[in-house]
Chain A
Amino acid sequence: MTLTAPLRLPRAVLRTAGAWPFFAYTGLFLLLPTALVVVGALTGPDGAFSLDGIRAALTPRTAQVFWTSVWLSALTAAVGAVLGAVIAYALSTAPDGSVTRRVVTAFVSVLAQFGGVMLAFAFVAVLGANGLVTRLLREQLDVAVSPGLLSSMTGLVLVYCYFQVPLMVVVFLPAVDGLRPQWREATTTMGGTTAQYWRRVAGPLLAPSFLGSFLLLFANAFSAFATAAALISQQTVIVPMAIESAIRNENNTGMDSYAQALALGMIAVVGVVMTLHAWLQRRSSGWAAA
């Protein structure tokens, strides 16, 4: 577009200058760090290209933390996706703008944020040695909650679900809301039952969004660090914790490249997941526009 007002600086400078500060800043604090990880992981101490760092990182120990991270993320994403989808559907039946809808959406969007240290504390208050539920179970049903529950993988799965389920509601609700009442009514008048509607219409229509949301949940859990760090302090169970211990171990200079190799591994996993996610979104975007 052309503006009529006189320009105070030469046009050529102005035409590019407006975005410089932003791209310079993000270059320094986003793109440079990312590049440092990738380059650092792929170069040797002499600065030349080398896969030694990666090779050195490929130990059974590394494989173990990656495997734990992957299954923890997949499992909690699956549980979160299924439960969250049910809640999102239930919520979508509430009228637009109703109190129920407003309250629940606000609540789940807070809980989706509610990862990390605070969530870990809250679970200590629920299932820790003196937790609310621990006491209830002990006093009412005489059931003992294992004191190590929260620092075990079972506990971690449980706690992760508390931010995965709400996140699923947040990201999946728009898809459920996108189901037009006409589709159900058309199916009904053509002789379709509720089961047929879900199997042949709503199911296939929601499938890409559901899978996409699952992938988003996976990436979310895979990237999470604080919750596990606050609950499990004795061992290194997931990749982010391995990265932390590598970086904070300043005595050993080789650890920097180990951290970079691990980080590159995370970029690879999340990259694959997000590429799949983008592909799914493109596939269903034609429908969404209809």
Chain B
Amino acid sequence: MSAQVATQAPVAAVPPASAPSAAAAVPTGTRHAARRRARQRWLRRVVLGVSLTLLALPIVALLEFSVRYPLTGAVDLDAWRKIVSGRTSEYQTLAPLWTGLTNSLVMCAITVTLMLVLLLPTMVWVQLRRPRLGRALELVCLLPLTIPAVVLVVGLAPVYRVISTRVLDSSTIWLSFAYVILVLPFAYRALAAGLRSIDLVTLSEAARSFGASWWVVLVRVVAPNIRSAIVSACFLSVAVVLGEFTLARILARDNLQTALFQINLSDSQVAAAMAFLALVGTTVLLVVVDLLMSRSRPTRPHAPGVTAS
């Protein structure tokens, strides 16, 4: 049966039985896969186009709201002028906003520092010395995802009563202690992804064999190798802290979000402008995180693990 083919074997590139059947060819080709791809492209464009437009609408509206004088509809940059001029005695009503913003920024710094000091050495140490603790560490770090902040705050209220009366004072910035807990899941995931991407055991063994101390291993060997993961963890933490409202509101402290809430009652345009700024800032942070994470991860890039609201 295959003899027919075998006999013509040594002749190169001469198609068997080619000439007579040329008439049966499909000159225009087929479009099976092309049609499917076209259908898919069409679906993708419509779905993404409509959904992105709708999702972008509130952001556009926020910007428009901040520059539109509500009674006349004229363009009015007053709100932005107030923000640019910063904290002046001229706009007394905006004082809470600047206080809240300052508090939030200070808390960003404290939270990020505490998070890094607590989490990174522990993760590295556990992975090198006590891998069995890894499960417990992960469990604790992801626990805040399943305990709503509003539940946590009920238990934190007595803790903060002690802190504000006996240990420190009632300043807002001590909320950072609780914020470290809130950022834990995001920071943990970012750092864990970074640590997974390097061969930590070999790296540290190599460094230790040259006589490096444990501290040198951490600061000079591990940290530079997971720099983008560390930056991601920091930025995610900043994004969470800047957007935090629940704890501050219920524990009666003043941060950016509670200030926005308060300012909105007196000057809603400034609140809108500030919310827009905060949103843009967060977007930039998260886009940088996405870029950094996808660089350290060889597989499909997807969004950073942000699930809070």
Whether the complex brings A and B within 8 Å at their CB atoms is answered yes
Q: Which of B75-83, B224-232, B249-257 contacts A (4 or more CB under 8 A)?
A: B249-257
Q: Which of B15-23, B84-92, B144-152, B189-197 contacts A (4 or more CB under 8 A)?
A: B144-152
A37-B307 in contact given A162-B55, A240-B148 (Cβ < 8 Å)? no
Assign chain B's interface to a size class. Answer: 35 or more
**Contact between chains at B62 and A21 (CB < 8 Å):** no
A219-B146 in contact given A5-B211, A226-B249, A229-B245 (Cβ < 8 Å)? yes
**Contact between chains at B121 and A26 (CB < 8 Å):** no
Contact of A113 among B126, B213, B306 (CB under 8 A): B306
A174-B152 in contact given A162-B55, A225-B246 (Cβ < 8 Å)? no
CB of B105 closer than 8 Å to a CB of A: no
The number of chain A residues with a CB under 8 A from chain B is 101
**Contact between chains at B55 and A94 (CB < 8 Å):** no
Q: Which of A81-140 contact B (CB under 8 A)?
A: 83, 86-87, 90-91, 93-94, 96-97, 100-102, 104-119, 121-126, 130-133
Residues of B close to A222: CB separation below 8 A:
148
**Contact between chains at B44 and A18 (CB < 8 Å):** no
Contact of A226 among B41, B51, B211, B246 (CB under 8 A): B246
Q: Please, which residue of chain B has its CB at the minimum distance from the CB of A245? A: B250
CB of A4 closer than 8 Å to a CB of B: yes
Contact of B155 among A35, A109, A117 (CB under 8 A): A35
**Contact between chains at B301 and A90 (CB < 8 Å):** no
A122-B61 in contact given A22-B119, A113-B308 (Cβ < 8 Å)? yes
CB of A247 closer than 8 Å to a CB of B: yes
16 contacts between A and B (CB under 8 A): A37-B155, A109-B303, A114-B282, A116-B257, A118-B260, A125-B64, A125-B272, A132-B60, A167-B309, A170-B302, A173-B303, A226-B246, A247-B153, A247-B154, A259-B154, A270-B148
Instruction: Give A residues with C-beta under 8 Å from B.
Output: 1, 3-5, 14-15, 18-19, 21-23, 25-26, 28-37, 40, 83, 86-87, 90-91, 93-94, 96-97, 100-102, 104-119, 121-126, 130-133, 162-163, 165-167, 169-171, 173-174, 177, 216, 219-227, 229-230, 239-240, 243-244, 247-248, 256, 259-260, 262-263, 266-267, 270-271, 274
